[in-house]
Structure 1
Amino acid sequence: MSGRKQFDVVAALDQAMHVFWQRGYADASLDALGSATGLGRGSLYGTFGTKDALFRQCLDRYASVYGARYEQALTAHPGDPVRAVEAFFDVTLSRIADPSVPMGCLIAQSAAQSPTLKEENNALVRGLLDLQRQRVRTALTHPSADARTLDELATFVVAVNQSLAVLSRAGASDTELHSVARLACTTVADTLGRAAAPEDVAQG
């Protein structure tokens, strides 16, 4: 029975996550959350706590699911930072193309609505964005590039990643989104290439 109950809680959390993801925090009413999860207000509060507490659990759930996919993509190509970034964007593009989930990104949606969030929730969103940047930065190892360049590239990659989510919500086509990701990867490759050029010239 405990396994069945846990399954139901996770399923309800996923449904609530989709409501926040689609509507944003401000427009995710308790009625909409209850309708999606199949729980009345009493059961909703009893299971997840307040709306703010439920929102934080949904953010954590989202970060757990997609964070694991990002981590796998970024660590699958050691020594090849450009391929790692390509794999990173592939995760995002696959999620955007998945018809079973809302368009965009829950973290990007939440960041855009930061004025409506309480400070604790804002801090969580900022922390999740920083975690994504740290993951990308770890994958961007290059013997010829200085730390500042790699830090800036990591921030750039995360910024592009979030822009893909926003563009998808605005109706950008798959072709356009893939073009943005491809150009971003070219920028990463060119930047790392320029960092290596002085060493190559010196050796020549």
Structure 2
Amino acid sequence: MAGRKQFDVDEALRGAMLVFWRWGYSEASIDRLTEGTGLGRGSLYGTFGDKSALFRKSLERYAQTYHPLYEQALSGPHSSPGAVVAAYLGVTLNRIADPDVPDGCLLTMSAAQLPALDAEGQAMVRAMIATLRGMLEQALRAAGAGEREAAELALCTLATNKSLAVLSRAGFSGEELSTVAAVAAR
């Protein structure tokens, strides 16, 4: 039937998300995106718009996939602020260990390439990081941290999370990454 999509849009979006995750925005060429999604250029553009729009949709998909895992881990109750940090970083370690996704983190890769993104993409990356930071602060306060301690621990936990993503890309072992997370939680 004319005009009807002959492919799974959600699966194509997942493929695009993985391309951006593996290569970053700058190196995610249209050729890589067509290969990763299994779509021709016309279908890619017709379904998702330009590369920037596809990136933003991929980033949304990433958040829809992983933010609920962080929310669940932070929902508590937690016996201490260190337990909050451990729960949060545990989600990160599980994602890094997943053989079905690239090393690292799409959000970390995107933050590192912020100047290459359009204004809307930059705003999305900043908003997603702010959301995670806010979730952490709230959970840390619920676990007994004061305002200032919660803010400082949330920032350090977020920095540790991003460093775990970078170290995983650099080939550090799961054991080494677990050591980083355990020390951060202490």
What TM-score do you get using the length of structure 1 for normalisation?
Answer: 0.84
Mark the runs of 5 or more structure 1 residues left unpaired by the alignment: 187-204
Preserved contact between residue 81 and residue 145 of structure 2 (Cα < 8 Å): no
CA contact (8 A) 1:89 1:181 kept: yes
Distance 2:132 2:51 in 1: 25
**Secondary structure of 1:25's partner?**
helix
User: Counterpart of 1:84 in structure 2: which amino acid?
Assistant: V
CA deviation vs aligned residue, 1:72-130 (integer Å, no higher than 9, x gap): 01103345432232121111101111111000000000111112111211111011111
- Secondary structure of the corresponding residue to residue 24 of structure 1: helix
For the Cα contact (< 8 Å) 1:96–1:165, is it kept in 2? yes
Q: TM-score, normalised by structure 2?
A: 0.92
Alignment match, 1:69: 69
Aligned equivalents of 1:141, 1:112: Cα separation in 2? 29
Alignment of 1:99-110 (within 5 A): 99-110=99-110
Counterpart residue number, 1:28? 28
Alignment of 1:157-172 (within 5 A): 157-172=157-172
The CA deviation string for residues 155-198 of structure 1, in whole angstroms up to 9 with x for no partner, is 11111011100110011111110011001000xxxxxxxxxxxx
Secondary structure class of the residue paired with 1:171? coil
Q: State the number of aligned residues.
A: 182
* Counterpart residue identity of residue 134, structure 1: G
Bigger drift between 23-32 and 80-89 goes to 80-89
CA–CA distance in structure 2, aligned partners of residues 177 and 143 of structure 1: 24
**What residue identity is the alignment partner of 1:178?**
S
**What's the CA shift for 1:36?**
1.2
CA distance in 2, matches of 1:23, 1:127: 22
2:96 aligned partner: 96
Which of 80-89 and 127-136 deviates more?
80-89
Which deviates more from structure 2 when the two are superposed, residues 47-56 or residues 75-84?
75-84
Distance 1:14 1:31 in 2: 16
Question: Whose RCO is larger (CA < 8 A, sep 6+)?
Answer: 2
User: C-alpha distance in 2, partners of 1:134/1:122?
Assistant: 18
Are residue 10 (structure 1) and residue 10 (structure 2) matched?
yes
1:181 paired residue number: 181
Structure 1 runs (4+) deviating above 4 angstroms are 142-145
CA contact (8 A) 2:17 2:58 kept: yes
Structure possessing the higher radius of gyration over alpha carbons: 1
CA distance in 2, matches of 1:153, 1:6: 48
SS of equivalent to 1:141: helix
Match of 1:192 in 2: none
Amino acid at match of 2:162: Q
Find the aligned partners of 1:6 and 1:18 in 2 and give their Cα distance: 21
